[in-house]
Amino acid sequence: MASYFEELAQQYIDGQWRTGSGSWDVIDFNPYDDEKLASITVATVEEVDDAYRAAERAQKKWAETNAYARRAVFERALALIEEREEEIAELIVAELGGTRVKAGFELHLAKEFLREAIHLALRPEGKILPSPADGKENRVYRVPVGVVGVISPFNFPFLLSLKSVAPALALGNGVVLKPHQNTPVAGGTLIAKLFEDAGLPGGLLNVVVTDIAEIGDAFIEHPVPRVISFTGSDKTGRHVATVCAAHFKRAVLELGGNSALVVLDDADLDYAVDAAVFSRFVHQGQVCMAANRVLVDRSVAEEFTEKFVAKVRSLPVGDPRDPGTVIGPVINSAQAKALSQVVEQAVGEGGTALVRGTVEGNLVAPSVLTGLPENSPLLRQEVFGPVVFLVPFDGEEEAVRLVNDTPYGLSGAVHTGDIERGVAFARRIDTGMFHVNDGTVHDEPLVPFGGEKHSGLGRLNGETTVEAFTTTKWISVQHGRSGFPF
């Protein structure tokens, strides 16, 4: 694993591994023990330009390549991930502080999305449409957009980079990827290495490790990319969308969430507890779909709370390399401090800490809070870590109102003994995704993934990915002579 960090601590531009020419370095730390994993000199505006120009040059030939030949690259990339799976899992544990369970979960999904990318190469279909003009044939071609810029986050960097990079390439585009500076290898250069070894032509995929402190908005303002796929906070997403709109680019935004898991009065409480604990605390709660809020019908709240608190107290916190660890470190000290402030604010507003987790370095133990006033801003914002709010409610009408009382609308779940009651409830919630009798954290290759309100714009997965990374082109053919009025 150490060799990965040594080998991949570079920029990957136009098929070449090279050192950035910026004046400072991104230092890649293990969030659990602060071990220095790598030092990468940042890419400059000029290198971002080099990367986009390389993708632009390579894309033309790639788009003309037989789709079956393109598909073979992704088959080889999948085989390489399977061959190197243990090393990649160790890298995820080290660079993200992800547990073994989390690394396995991320790799499983990454392989599923690569399998879908294999099929996406053959997915685009054209149409022939009728015309009111005699003798006219309307052909509608689905073609690549050209070059896609991808900005990925730190929480599931390998998966969420691949989720845009692989389909964009499979559909005939070039790609420039900018991973998060906390996960430059898992979210960036590792992916470049896998595709290089899989035989992807040089220049098609470029990875620039840099930061807005160095390049400003150059990554999204650059004239070459026609689509920017961004995963991250709604604050940054708003800026990305604004810049994209000013430059007539398409923005695909997967942003934050404030999901609720709802327990109705007829729910299986033991099962609901299991679902709620996983939904909040998977990867230390650093998941956009995580259940920030657990809403429980007051008639079962006492029993549910007792069981929920007992299970949360039992979660092992510690070294993510230990297979028994459930709660590893959050990504950095700033995040750990912010989570401590959330708990202090909640208690200061009159909330009760049923469990108040300790903070040691970047290890933030779970906190369970209840009794917050309904107008608390904490109940409406995203909390990216192992802190959960328990909220009792009286009846479904109040539950619907409380769930929707947030600017976000990404995911959610409801637990009930009556499936159709759950479906009816789900349809009343303003989210892009909602799950009946399950957790809030799900992603599948064929199902449209995305949010409403401040949780994003557009969708990915399946046919929606084709729409995101391709465009349509109308070519009409006039058989015979057309008539003109003058």
Question: Do 188 and 300 fall into the same domain?
Answer: no
Question: Do 297 and 247 fall into the same domain?
Answer: no
- For residue 362, give every residue at least 6 positions away whose Cβ sits within 8 Å of its Cβ, in sequence order, or none: 31, 32, 97, 329, 330, 331, 332, 333, 335, 336
Question: Do 33 and 87 fall into the same domain?
Answer: yes
The CATH number for 273's domain is 3.40.309.10
Q: Is residue 483 part of a domain?
A: no
pLDDT digits (tens, 9 = 90+) for 156-211: 999 999 999 999 999 999 999 999 999 999 999 999 999 999 999 999 999 999 99
Q: Is residue 446 part of a domain?
A: no
Q: Is residue 481 part of a domain?
A: no
Domain around 333: 259-436
Question: Do 274 and 248 fall into the same domain?
Answer: no
Question: Known catalytic residue: 106?
Answer: no
Q: Is residue 442 part of a domain?
A: no
DSSP characters for 152-172?
A: --SSSHHHHHHHHHHHHHHTT
pLDDT digits (tens, 9 = 90+) for 232-290: 999 999 999 999 999 999 999 999 999 999 999 999 999 999 999 999 999 999 999 99
- Which uninterrupted H or E stretch holds 274? helix 269-281
Kindly give the pairing relationship between strand 408-409 and strand 452-453. antiparallel
Q: Which of 95, 106, 116, 254 is catalytic?
A: 254
469: tokens are 């990374």
Residue 295 has pLDDT above 70, yes or no: yes
pLDDT digits (tens, 9 = 90+) for 341-387: 999 999 999 999 999 999 999 999 999 999 999 999 999 999 999 99
Report the helix count and the strand count for the chain, using DSSP H and E.
16, 24
Question: Is the entire prediction scored with pTM above 0.85?
Answer: yes
Q: Is residue 441 part of a domain?
A: no
Contact 304, 296 (CB under 8 A): yes
How far is the C-alpha of 445 from the C-alpha of 345, rounded, in Å?
Answer: 39
Helix (H, G, I), strand (E, B) or coil at 371: coil
pLDDT digits (tens, 9 = 90+) for 48-91: 999 999 999 999 999 999 999 999 999 999 999 999 999 999 99
Question: Do 149 and 181 fall into the same domain?
Answer: yes
Question: Known catalytic residue: 288?
Answer: yes
How far is the C-alpha of 133 from the C-alpha of 151, rounded, in Å?
Answer: 45
Q: Is residue 225 part of a domain?
A: yes
Half-sphere exposure of 339 (CA within 13 A, CB side): 33
pLDDT digits (tens, 9 = 90+) for 313-347: 999 999 999 999 999 999 999 999 999 999 999 99
Q: Which of 47, 56, 244, 288 is catalytic?
A: 288
314: number of Cβ within 10 Å: 9
Question: Do 165 and 24 fall into the same domain?
Answer: yes
As a three-state string, the secondary structure of 373-442 is CCCCHHHCCCCCCCEEEEEEECHHHHHHHHHHCCCEECCEEEECCCHHHHHHHHCCCCCCCCEECCCCCC
